[in-house]
Amino acid sequence: MSDESQPKQLLHLVFGGELTDLEGIEFRDLETLDVVGIYPNYAKAYDAWKAKAQSTVDNAHMRYFIVHMHRLLDPETDQ
């Protein structure tokens, strides 16, 4: 039984790693990917992404991404 007063979870994954090339999105070492976490909405994911991105600003090859997991789990939420 779901609680209608709770907002719908729109899960987002934040992760990052060092890229091989500044122009691409291929990671240098998949073993060292930094999985920051899974968040219940975009706003919380964005805050986590921004904090991690700012903490690695000295490394130009380091990139963090937000994945809209809810779109993968339920494509109908892509509205």
**CA–CA dist 41, 1 (Å, integer):** 21
Q: Which residues pair with 38 in a beta bridge?
A: 13
Q: Is the pTM of this model over 0.85?
A: no
Taking only the tens place, the pLDDT of each residue in 51-78 is 999 999 999 999 999 999 998 887 775 5
| pLDDT above 50: residue 79 | yes
Q: What percent of the chain has pLDDT over 90?
A: 76
pLDDT of residue 8: 81
pLDDT of residue 9: 85
Tally the C-alpha atoms within 13 A of residue 48's C-alpha that lie toward its C-beta.
20
| Domain 12-77 coded CATH 3.20.20.70 | no
Domain ranges for the chain, please list them: 12-77
Query: For the chain, what is the radius of gyration of the CA atoms?
Result: 15
